[in-house]
Amino acid sequence: MGVIPISDWQLALAAGLILLAGTISVLMKVGLLKNLLWGGLRVFVQLFVMGYALKYIFLWDNPWVNLGLLVFMAGFATWMAFRRVKTAPERHYGLTFLSISSASFLVSAIVCGLLIQGKPFYTARVVIPITGMIIGNSLTAVSLALDRLYGEVRSNAGKIEMLLALGATRWEAARDAVREALRAGMTPIINSMMVVGLVFLPGMMVGQLLAGADPTTAIRYQIVVMLMIAAATALSSLLLVGLTYRRLFTAADALKPVFRESQLSPKNSKQR
């Protein structure tokens, strides 16, 4: 059957679905019209720009250009991760970039080199889409994990300080917060793994089916994708939370003031 083309009027019809959702939002006074329109516009612009850029990148297929694009994607994901974390008192961009990039590049190298076996494995048509999927899901995982980590430490500052006063180490004091953060980061991919194939068919599988691939071949690729995303999100969350929780404390092993202050009531904060 081959690839099914999408015409301009079909794209316009797809945009009409966003307008329909926005109209319903206005009628119900939910206030999502602006976000829906802005998100839809960004989808069109960003994907068209990337699509035309990839045409030339695939033709050039220079390994250094490929690496540069992947580093840019990891850097942008790092910035977006902190935009999503509204409760972050400190922004450890270096640690976040290290966690996302190292986990994503490691898993991508294994998948592209050993599983898909592109010729060579770093060819642009293989490594960029695969690593892009991994980075995108790692972004979601680390932002959720960071948000939960900061939230848990803030809400349990008194308990953490009590444990420190009784001689607990940083890890012993923050262990429960770390566990909750890791659970939060892994929840989306775990939920997806539980219902994949039964409730929804993921994007790669749908794309291959629309292109005429045999369903049994498509499911093999989708299994690889789901497992690689699970591995990458787990590694990136573990790395980031493991490196970040130690920086929530001072050199004297006390919780930093920014977290202790969250325990004060507004009245007490004014008196202070």
In 10 A of CB 176, how many CB atoms?
Answer: 15
**What CA–CA distance (Å, rounded) separates 141 from 135?**
10
Structure confidence at residue 2 as a pLDDT band (50, 70, 90): low
The number of angstroms, rounded, from the C-alpha of 233 to the middle of its chain's C-alpha atoms is 8
The proportion of the chain whose per-residue pLDDT surpasses 90, expressed as a percent, equals 33
**139: pLDDT strictly greater than 90:** yes
pLDDT in tens, 212-261: 778 888 888 888 888 999 999 999 999 999 998 888 888 888 888 877 65
Question: Facing residues of 249 across strands?
Answer: 255
Q: Contact at 8 Å (CB) between 235 and 106?
A: yes
Rg of the chain, C-alpha, whole Å: 22
Amino acid residing at 188: P
Summarize pLDDT for 154-195 with one digit per residue, the tens: 888 889 889 988 888 889 999 999 999 999 999 999 988 888
Q: What are phi and psi of 94, to 5 degrees?
A: -60, -45
Stated as kind and residue range, the H or E segment containing 125 is helix 124-155
**CB of 108 closer than 8 Å to CB of 133:** no
Contacts (Cβ under 8 Å, ≥6 apart) of 216: none
Q: Residue 74, exposed/middle/buried by CB under 10 A (0-12, 13-18, 19+)?
A: buried
Confidence of residue 267 (pLDDT cuts 50, 70, 90): very low
Summarize pLDDT for 30-89 with one digit per residue, the tens.
778 888 888 889 888 988 998 899 889 988 889 999 999 999 999 999 998 888 887 777
CA separation for the pair 264, 22 (Å, rounded): 41
pLDDT tens for residues 116-126?
A: 877 787 889 88
CA distance 78 to 98: 9
Residue 186: predicted pLDDT? 92
Q: Which SS3 state, helix, strand or coil, does residue 249 take?
A: strand
Q: What is the pLDDT of residue 266?
A: 43
Could you tell me which of 243, 242, 263 has the C-alpha nearest to residue 182? 242
Phi, psi of 212 (to 5 degrees): 95, 10
Closest CA to 188 of 151, 150, 136, 153: 136
Reported as a pLDDT band with limits 50, 70 and 90, residue 1 is low
